């Protein structure tokens, strides 16, 4: 790309980034309102300040690029905007955290924002049990927003003129088209989410009532826990996370919501449109069932051998809950972080680390390798082994079922292997960073898997006392993993002014 | 007279020799979690601020108590819980309570929860409302910035009202 | 609107670009992958490989929810067939086709299909440039 082409693209880019900034500013009015209702005056002022800053910045950027907003963005630029939006989002959304007094530094604030937006769930907040309702609302709202995707949100506000819409949409690691137009798809995704938000908040609040909570707090906690479950985020309003409620029913309801939340949006769309059989035929649900069973059995084996839990109920509510929370990359915890290391034993830790890496479904709020890739890789192994054992048999065409019957092309297989490898490399770097910071292998690997898979389970490493380089490493890992590498790499490539046209098409 | 003093001494002395009731060890939450094997099943004493709210369960209740490091779930009787009047949250410091009871690393009765079954509960000191005072510079900044944002928004709408003309 | 475009030639791809830019849902059908590449890798539309007269292909493109079908393949007969299927089988509200041979006008009209004849359009345009204010064909 020639120099003037690159700078020329800055105008529409400014328009889209401005749109994102404005959206984020407008969203901050929700926690501001919450603080107003609960008379948390300081927090209200904080949010008014930061919302205004974002609105002013966003409006200015949009006005700058307004005249050239209709220009089509090249694929690479579109991807960069995606990654850039997340970066800008992180910086803007961290300001209220820094000002509210519950975070020790701007870096810690950025960490928490990135953790929220990527629906990871690792947190560096201080004094969570005395956190204002305004800030808690912002924390949970961020994870709900991040789950859907900021680009997706910004696109819903566009009626037309979204020339670069598709590339930006893909840049956020969503390549499922519910509708041909990315803007329509974004709107559809948001409608589905709003619909579930209403129902889910009611159900979750009822569960909170059943656990003994009353009044406004029950409703607030219901809404927040729902947002966190659906977005497979893992944030909770209290320091004990889900353990605070001491309720098996509450935990069960969260499981239902976060499992559903980890499913592919296209699957939701299909089932809601009447195609119920898809639930059992889809390659991702099948793969998920297999890997879940595998890792759960392994976890149970490990826990039983180490005599960690006294009875089946405890094994279920502690062992299985943590495992399925990890596998769906949610991150809700009903035990204390340090208990993983001190009690679980190596086998169970191995199993859960693996589950965190496997992750949930593609095009959902979950992270990890994603079920469709695990499925594709498994099928490919199957085919290769068959070929090895019977070299003379005719090479059969592999098919997978994902909404439609799709022929497994070599390109798709290559893509799956490449992305999974990228995840493994990221995971290894994260583990190395943990060990450089002084932690033992089991702990470093666990926390790295949690960051790489955008999970949120913690073995105790994540704390304000972590060395800064480790915080930065985890921030980058969470960001890379959530956007599935492509858009962040595109951003870096443009930043370095080297254009790579080779990886333009992504299949999975 | 001397014999009376002697009798009293003889009666009192044995009482003084009775062993004092063993005081339950006071343990912090970090030790309870990390050194769990040592304390599991033993009677301990735990002190901290009652946070959140009471979660009633029939004639018992859960209260979550935080000592600043972690919050521990405590299974108490309803009558014990009634002693607590204030629970900690934003702008409120809850009652500081001291509980003595059996600590469980993974309670068999409560689905493996890490908890403390309180035999006794005592309110050490009452909590209080500690409202966060409004910071004037912050309020001023909020006013100025909000004004600026609204102004800019109005300008933008005026200028771009004709969405398709340019 | 949900629009299906049959044929990804120059007209088809140009229409797809403009309509998707306006915010409509556009699905383009063409048997040749090469033609579909005209849309570009960042096209804000759906591309379906196949024949526009094949019902499976049409359904995959979403004809059941289509508000309009536009048949602009190079072949008049294909256009007519696709238009008929859209109109009669799937009751798509608006069907527009391109027909090079305007003698087919009656056939199209009898099916209630709107059509555009490039030959006439070009002839009219040139005529208007040569003889301003003259009678049209």
* Secondary structure of chain C in HEC code, one letter for each residue: CEEEEECCCHHHHHHHHHHHHCCCEEEEEECCHHHHHHHCCCCCCEEEECCCCCHHHHHHHCHHHCCEEEECCCCHHHHHHHHHHHHHHCCCCEEEEECCCHHHHHHHHHHCCEEECHHHHHHHHHHHHHCCCCCCC
Residue A8, C-beta contacts closer than 8 angstroms, at least 6 positions apart: none
Q: What is the dihedral of CA A68, A72, A75, A81, to 10 degrees?
A: 30
A501 touches C at CB < 8 Å: no
Which chain A residue lies closest to C28 (C-alpha atoms)?
Answer: A180
User: Phi and psi dihedrals of A131, rounded to 5?
Assistant: -75, 145
A239·B166 Cβ contact <8 A:
no
DSSP 3-state of A216? helix
B61 touches A at CB < 8 Å: yes
Neighboring chain A residues of C8 at a CB cutoff of 8 Å: none
Is C77 inside a domain boundary? yes
C63 touches A at CB < 8 Å: no
- Rounded to whole angstroms, how far apart are CA atoms A174 and A487? 11
Beta bridge partners, B92, equal B89, B129
Touch between chain C and chain B: 3 or more Cβ pairs under 8 Å: no
Beta bridge partners, B60, equal B57, B77
A238, A240, A311: which to substitute to probe chain B, counting the most B Cβ within 10 Å? A240
What tens-digit pLDDT sequence spans chain B (166 residues)? 777 877 777 776 666 555 545 568 899 999 999 999 999 999 999 999 999 999 999 999 999 999 999 999 999 999 999 999 999 999 999 999 999 999 999 999 999 999 999 999 999 999 999 988 889 999 999 999 999 999 999 998 888 776 555 4
How far C90 CA lies from chain A's nearest CA (Å)? Answer: 19
DSSP 3-state of A58? helix
Angle (CA) C106-C112-C117 rounded to 5° is: 55
CA atoms in the 13 A half-sphere facing the CB of B115: 24
C20·A73 Cβ contact <8 A:
no
pLDDT (0 to 100) of residue A394 = 72
Which chain C residue lies closest to A77 (C-alpha atoms)?
Answer: C42
The neighbours of chain C, by the rule of 3 or more Cβ pairs under 8 Å, are A
C49 touches A at CB < 8 Å: no
Burial A340-349 (b: 16+ CB within 10 A, else e): bbbbbbebbb
Is C26 inside a domain boundary? yes
β-pairing, B115-125 with B128-129?
A: unpaired
Tell me which residue in C27, C42, C45 faces A167 most closely, judged by beta carbons.
C42
Q: Tell me the C-alpha to C-alpha distance, in Å, between residue C83 and each of B87, C28, C30, C114.
A: 72, 14, 15, 9
The neighbours of chain A, by the rule of 3 or more Cβ pairs under 8 Å, are B, C
C21 touches A at CB < 8 Å: yes
How far A269 CA lies from chain B's nearest CA (Å)? Answer: 33
pLDDT (0 to 100) of residue A506 = 41
B67 touches A at CB < 8 Å: no
**Per-residue pLDDT tens for C8-52?**
989 999 999 888 888 889 999 999 988 888 887 667 888 888 999
Q: Tell me the C-alpha to C-alpha distance, in Å, between residue A222 and each of A216, A217, A251, A402, B75.
A: 10, 8, 12, 33, 23
A163·C44 Cβ contact <8 A:
yes
Low-confidence ranges of chain A (pLDDT < 70): 1-7, 72, 150-151, 154-177, 487, 490, 493-508
Q: Starting at the earlier edge strand, list the strands of the sheet with C68-71.
A: C46-49, C25-30, C2-6, C68-71, C94-98, C114-116
Nearest to C73 by CA among C85, C82, C60: C82
pLDDT (0 to 100) of residue A499 = 38
CATH, range B20-129: 2.40.50.140
Q: What is the CATH number of the domain that holds C31?
A: 3.40.50.720
Q: Tell me the C-alpha to C-alpha distance, in Å, between residue A94 and each of A101, A110, A114, B108, C41.
A: 12, 5, 9, 42, 35
A161·C21 Cβ contact <8 A:
yes
B113·A240 Cβ contact <8 A:
no
- Rounded to whole angstroms, how far apart are CA atoms B26 and A146? 43
Nearest to B70 by CA among B37, B33, B101: B33
How far C73 CA lies from chain A's nearest CA (Å)? Answer: 20
B70 touches A at CB < 8 Å: yes
Report the predicted TM-score, pTM, of the whole model to 2 decimal places.
0.85
Nearest to A302 by CA among A322, A329, A330, A285: A322
Which chain C residue lies closest to A405 (C-alpha atoms)?
Answer: C60
A212·B112 Cβ contact <8 A:
no
Domain ranges of chain B: 20-129, 135-166
- Rounded to whole angstroms, how far apart are CA atoms A220 and A224? 6
Q: Which DSSP string do the residues of A273-292 spell out, in sequence order? A: TT-TTHHHH-HHHHHHHHHH
Question: Is the CB of residue A478 less than 8 Å from the CB of residue A368?
Answer: no
Residues of the domain holding C101:
2-130
Binning pLDDT at 50, 70 and 90, where does residue C109 land?
Answer: confident
Q: How many domains does chain C have?
A: 1
pLDDT (0 to 100) of residue A501 = 38
């Amino acid at each position: 790309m020639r120099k003037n082409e690159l700078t020329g693209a800055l105008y529409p880019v400014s328009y889209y980034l401005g749109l994102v900034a404005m959206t984020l500013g407008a969203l901050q009015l929700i926690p501001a309102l919450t603080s107003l209702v609960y008379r948390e005056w300081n927090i209200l002022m904080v949010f008014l300040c930061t919302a205004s800053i974002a609105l002013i910045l966003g409006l200015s950027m949009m006005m700058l690029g307004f005249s050239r907003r209709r220009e089509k963005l090249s694929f690479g630029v579109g991807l960069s905007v995606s990654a850039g939006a997340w970066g800008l989002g992180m910086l803007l959304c961290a300001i209220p955290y820094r000002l509210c007094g519950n975070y020790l530094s701007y870096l810690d604030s950025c960490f928490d924002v990135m953790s929220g937006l990527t629906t990871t769930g690792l947190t560096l907040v201080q004094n969570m049990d005395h956190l204002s309702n305004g800030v808690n609302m912002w924390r949970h709202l961020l994870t709900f927003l991040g789950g859907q995707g900021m680009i997706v949100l910004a696109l819903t506000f566009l009626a037309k003129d979204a020339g670069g819409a598709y590339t930006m949409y893909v840049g956020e690691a969503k390549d499922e088209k519910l509708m041909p137009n990315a803007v329509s798809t974004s709107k559809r995704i948001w409608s589905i989410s709003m619909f579930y938000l209403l129902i889910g908040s009611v159900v979750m609040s009822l569960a909170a009532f059943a656990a003994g909570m009353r009044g406004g707090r029950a409703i607030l906690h219901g809404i927040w826990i729902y947002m966190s479950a659906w977005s497979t985020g893992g944030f909770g309003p209290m320091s004990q996370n889900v353990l605070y409620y001491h309720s098996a029913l509450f935990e069960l309801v969260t499981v239902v919501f976060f499992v559903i939340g980890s499913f592919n949006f296209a699957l939701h769309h299909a089932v809601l449109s009447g195609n119920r059989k898809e639930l059992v035929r889809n390659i991702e649900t099948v793969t998920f069932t297999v890997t879940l069973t595998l890792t759960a059995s392994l976890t149970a084996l490990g826990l039983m051998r180490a005599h960690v839990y006294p009875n089946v109920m405890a094994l279920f509510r502690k062992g299985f809950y943590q495992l399925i929370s990890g596998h769906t990359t949610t991150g809700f915890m009903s035990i204390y972080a340090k208990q993983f290391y001190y009690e679980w034993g190596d086998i169970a830790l191995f199993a859960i680390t693996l589950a965190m890496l496997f992750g949930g479904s593609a095009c959902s709020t979950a992270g990890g390798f994603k079920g469709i890739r695990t499925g594709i890789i498994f099928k490919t192994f199957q085919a290769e082994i068959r070929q090895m054992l019977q070299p003379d048999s005719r090479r059969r065409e592999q098919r997978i079922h994902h909404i439609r019957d799709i022929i497994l092309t070599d390109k798709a297989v290559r893509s799956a292997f490449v992305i999974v490898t990228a995840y493994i490399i990221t995971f290894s770097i994260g583990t190395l960073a943990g060990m450089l910071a002084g932690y033992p292998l089991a702990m470093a690997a666990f926390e790295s898997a949690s960051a790489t898979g955008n999970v949120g389970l913690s073995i105790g490493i994540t704390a304000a006392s972590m060395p800064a380089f480790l915080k930065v490493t985890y921030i980058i890992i969470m960001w890379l993993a959530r956007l599935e590498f492509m858009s962040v790499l595109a951003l870096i490539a443009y930043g370095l002014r080297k254009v790579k046209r080779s990886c333009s098409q992504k299949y999975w | 007279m001397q014999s009376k003093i002697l009798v009293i001494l003889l009666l009192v002395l044995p009482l003084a020799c009775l062993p004092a009731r063993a005081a339950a060890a006071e343990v912090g939450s970090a030790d309870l979690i990390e050194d769990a094997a040592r304390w599991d099943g033993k009677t301990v004493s735990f002190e901290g601020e009652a946070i959140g709210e009471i979660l009633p369960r029939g004639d018992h209740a859960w209260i979550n108590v935080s000592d600043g490091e972690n919050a521990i779930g405590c299974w108490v009787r309803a009558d014990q819980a009634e002693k607590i009047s204030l629970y900690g949250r934003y702008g409120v410091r809850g009652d500081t309570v001291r509980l003595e009871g059996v600590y469980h690393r993974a309670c068999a009765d409560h689905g493996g929860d890490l908890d403390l079954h309180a035999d006794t509960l005592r309110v050490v000191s009452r909590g209080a409302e500690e409202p966060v005072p409004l910071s004037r510079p912050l309020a001023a900044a909020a006013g100025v910035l909000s004004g600026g944002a609204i102004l800019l928004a109005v300008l933008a709408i005026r200028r771009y009202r004709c969405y398709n003309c340019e | 609107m949900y629009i299906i475009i049959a044929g990804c030639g120059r007209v088809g791809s140009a229409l797809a670009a403009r309509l998707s830019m306006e915010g409509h849902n556009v699905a383009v059908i063409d048997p040749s992958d090469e033609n579909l590449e005209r849309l570009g890798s960042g096209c804000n539309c759906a591309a379906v490989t196949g024949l526009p007269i094949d019902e499976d292909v049409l359904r995959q493109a979403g004809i059941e929810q289509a508000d309009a079908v536009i048949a602009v393949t190079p072949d008049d007969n294909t256009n007519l067939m696709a238009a008929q299927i859209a109109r009669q089988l799937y009751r798509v509200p608006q069907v527009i086709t391109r027909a090079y041979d305007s003698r087919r006008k009656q056939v199209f009209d009898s099916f209630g299909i709107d059509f555009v004849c490039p030959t006439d359009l070009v002839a009219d345009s040139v005529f208007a440039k040569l003889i301003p204010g003259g009678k049209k064909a």
